[in-house]
Chain A
Amino acid sequence: MQLETFNYDNKIVRNFGIATIFWGIVGMSVGLLVAVQLVWPFMNFNTPFTTFGRIRPLHTNAVIFAFVGNGIFMGVYYSLQRLLKARMYSDLLSRIHFWGWQLIILAAAITLPLGFTTSHEYAELEWPIDIAITIIWVVFGINMFGTIIKRRERHMYVAIWFYIATFVTIAVLHIVNSVELPIAAWKSYYLYAGVQDALVQWWYGHNAVAFFLTTPYLGMMYYFLPKMANRPVYSYKLSILHFWSLIFIYIWAGPHHLLYTSLPSWAQSLGVVFSIMLIAPSWGGMINGLLTLRGAWDKVRTEPTLKFMVVALTAYGMATFEGPMLSLKQVNAIAHFTDWIVAHVHVGALGWNGFMTFAILYWAIPKIYGTALHSKKMASVHFWVGTLGILFYAIPMYWAAVVQGLMWKEFTPEGVLKYPTFLSTTLQILPMHMLRAIGGALYLSGALLMTYNLIRTMQKGKLIANEPAEAMALPPIHTNEKSIHRRLERKPALFMVIALIVILIGGMVEMMPTFMISSNVPTISSVKPYTPLELQGRDIYIREGCVNCHSQTVRPFRSETVRYGEYSKAGEFVYDHPFLWGSKRTGPDLHRVGKKYPNKWHYDHLLDPTLTSPGSIMPPYPWLINQKIDTASTAAKITAMRKLGVPYPKEYENYANKDLLQQAKSIVDDLKQSEVDVLSDREIIAIVAYLQRLGTDIKVTEK
């Protein structure tokens, strides 16, 4: 066998590392901004581009896809080359991947504040960017599989299995959840509607957490933790069990995001059962990681990287225990729509993803610059400041969640809601929101400290762009391998296909009956398509990101039906492309808000929420009075909706604007009676029309 010499590409690792740091600071800063907006509404700055509804998705996208995304690529490009004893397949593809991904992030950072959004959580980017993501993801895949094919190590280490599962599952999730019908350059409607759209979205949303925030990080944990501790992984067998059971079970758990909604109850139950089962592989992985440090715990005292890793693994354990607990219907009934979910997500994001990313940066940057870390002491300070930040973030949020969740449900001995005004429950938890902002500020300051430390480290060393390495050439296989799994490990394409089948099973069992058996979504004859004006209003509602704070699904609890009205039925959402059920109630549910208040109330509320609700933290929307309804798009919207199955009459698009103007005029006339003078072509009229329609198809009006 011949000893071959080659180079590892460290430049691409460095580039993704710098992008991770840069976008991390951006994402966390925007996170801090949205946190303070929820305490001091003036921080919305009274412009459309900086309001909470548009900025919140910018924060989530920046942190998930920019900070964590670049962190994943940094870790994968570093570990993949070394585990396979090969340089990346193509330097050109590496560069296309890097710059393509940064352009996608830049496009997101521009389009989201402009209001171009699909409204699907963690998938808000519009269709042109979706296509770009697909292309760049394929580039990443070709580069990864090309490297696997030209490897010098026969067997694929478990970390690479996690990378393969990440690649294939994210591809499936992204494609299925992005099936949209474009109606303009930056506007599209989802193919799915209502309950079906909700199921697809939360199948995606849950598994984006699983296969973007979890599996690649588990792969990196299995590589970097043994490297940092200089010890092999505790149990390789456990890692195999961890991998297969995790990717199999995770994919089924999505419906736990839709408990007590109008999703068929069998799908909800399935989501709950598999969520509980998910504890086993998740904790198996955490234990495998922590036990890797057996006999090396003394190093944790001195090595900041291991400190970060231990907290990352602990946060992973906490979040993956908490997730299944939140899936229990009894817990979910109190926790859902509250800050508990926000706390849960941030324990994972700040603790698991953030801290592991910091650990890898602290470990890899000095290595590729051929020097030592500028200051271990500074890294330790970062560790403690960051840990304190997580605690200051999570504990107040749990507190706020329990307080608000119980306030929503409390009745007086006389049998009436004790807190009938939703706003009183929001104002009660503002002190906790202030503490959360302090936690976020601490975490961000730790990241800034790390940035300084790493810049000094880079200045001290010199980038080893092409790190020399040598390994034996891989000879052809002559022996008959008996073990199925070992044979499988040698065939990455087959491995990918089997992983694909494993992750498809869960999605298919849950989605196919919901899509194909009509009894799963019973139709209601009184439910009619939105009028053209309501449709335009709905798109403004989507553009402004109202769904970030207001849900549109009333759960079948007495506390909700008394507060909001009749619980929501599946058949009410059949024309909702997309569904707008939301996942958080910073403000009240709006599904039964139609005809609850006069038009004047909505007009005043949108102009200045404190006029109708003193103390409200909702931002004002004065631009809705100045901006005109985009009537030029009405025909295209009606045509698109008809293509998606909404029963608008044939050629209705030709006279839809006539109906639109007529309905707008009736609202303007009504407002005139309340001494409000507004033009009928203004956006505020459309959104008022939409809000007044919500939930009225089956609403019983009191005589």
Chain B
Amino acid sequence: MSNNVFMKQSRKYIPLTIMIIFVLLFCGCKQNKVEDKQPENTFAVHGSVREMVIHPETPDFPEHEGKALFMSYCSVCHSLKYISGQPGFPRKTWDAEVAKMVTKYKAQIDSATCQKIVDYLAAVKGKA
């Protein structure tokens, strides 16, 4: 009996519930669209102050062992576009590049991790 009353009452809310679901779905889609689109870079002058906003993008990289290490360590100081924009190189070139980041630019990467990053680069950006 009480069940029945509940059913009857809740039936009243069906159109509203459907509407809410549609609104949520629509907002969700819209949200996705906004996320897909790169936000605009801006520039403004306020009196003596100049300000710009640049939104960097993260390029896609192939799945391969070591990808997560490569992406996290190599993006500390610079855009990963530094790597996506390179042609393929032999392993010894990647070895020298990663070593340079540690010895010259003082990146904090231990040698075991360096090797895994070099492995990744040699695999996805190796000499064709």
Q: Is A bound to B? A: no
